[in-house]
Amino acid sequence: MTPITAEARSEDPRWSVHFLKLAEGLVVCGAKAKLVERFTELPHSRVKLLYRAFRGTAPPAGPVTQGSVRHFAIPGKHTPESLRVQCAIFLACYDRVGRITTTPLQRGWQLLVAFRAYLDLTERASKTASMRRLDINQAYALLTYCGFLTLRAEAEMQRELCPDCGIAYAVAVNEPRAKQGCPVCAINANALRLAEQASSAARDSLASRGG
């Protein structure tokens, strides 16, 4: 897939085919119509036709930006640590794609390529019942909150590097950092705790049988 630069325009004959491929890719991934229109400058009627052709449905309804900063950053009932890990992986993919060239890339193209890379990296883990992956609309919202698509100085989220495992994970700027520890380290600590509990239970069972 040919990289689309930030200066490229869809009406330019040299780029029109590449913008159409971008639109097709976004549609196949389930991006909302407004998102496709924003990054490709295609009219809504054309995006609807693409949806019918590639997915057999109408474009999904609802606003482009989903969730909230807390949804992506603060662990809780609706934000398991595994989801925060997914966010970290996608942001790393987006950042890495942006470094393939010194020429600024078109944001929609970078989003699509990063999202595809993210899906490839998390394919095996996605087969786990408890693993929830981001969809492309959530990925876009995450980028928006992190300032990748706007002014980073005004971003509501930023990435923080864990000194222990080295992962860069997203944190909400205006929320207490004590609530936003490293998700990978939290998962590892929980796994160790469960292993210790299982080991202790096995020892107790053996002792009760006089072993």
pLDDT higher than threshold 80 for residue 52: yes
Question: Where are the domain boundaries for CATH 1.10.10 in the chain?
Answer: 69-193
Most confident of 59-68, 106-115, 130-139: 106-115
Write out the chain in H/E/C secondary structure.
CCCCECCCCCCCCCCHHHHHHHHHHHHHCCCCHHHHHHHHCCCHHHHHHHHHHHCCCCCCCCCCCCCCHHHHHCCECCECHHHHHHHHHHHHHHHHHCCCCCCCECHHHHHHHHHHHHHHHHCCHHHCCCCCCCCHHHHHHHHHHHCCCCCHHHCCEEEEECCCCCCEEEEECCCCHHHCCCHHHHHHHHHHHHHHHHHHHHHHHHHHCCC
Find the radius of gyration of the CA atoms of the chain: 21
Least confident of 5-14, 115-124, 149-158: 149-158
Q: Which pLDDT band, with edges at 50, 70 and 90, does 126 fall under?
A: confident
In CATH terms, the fold of domain 69-193 is Arc Repressor Mutant, subunit A (1.10.10)
pLDDT higher than threshold 80 for residue 23: yes
Average pLDDT over residues 101-122: 96
pLDDT higher than threshold 70 for residue 210: no
User: What's the pLDDT score for residue 15?
Assistant: 96
- pLDDT tens-digit series, residues 196-209: 877 766 666 666 76
Tell me what percent of the residues of the chain surpass a pLDDT of 70. 89
Q: Which pLDDT band, with edges at 50, 70 and 90, does 63 fall under?
A: confident
- pLDDT tens-digit series, residues 139-193: 999 999 998 866 566 789 999 999 999 999 999 999 999 889 999 999 999 888 8
Contact 45, 59 (CB under 8 A): no
Contact 173, 164 (CB under 8 A): no
Q: Which two tokens stand for residue 181?
A: 């520890």
User: What's the pLDDT score for residue 206?
Assistant: 63
pLDDT higher than threshold 60 for residue 129: no
User: What's the pLDDT score for residue 130?
Assistant: 65
Average pLDDT over residues 112-124: 95
Tell me what percent of the residues of the chain surpass a pLDDT of 90. 67
CA distance 168 to 164: 11
CA distance 84 to 199: 29
User: What's the pLDDT score for residue 40?
Assistant: 96
Q: Which two tokens stand for residue 91?
A: 């942001």
User: What's the pLDDT score for residue 114?
Assistant: 97
Render the burial of 45-59: b for 16+ CB within 10 Å, e for the rest. ebbbebbeeeeeeeb
> In whole numbers, what is the pLDDT of the chain averaged over residues?
89
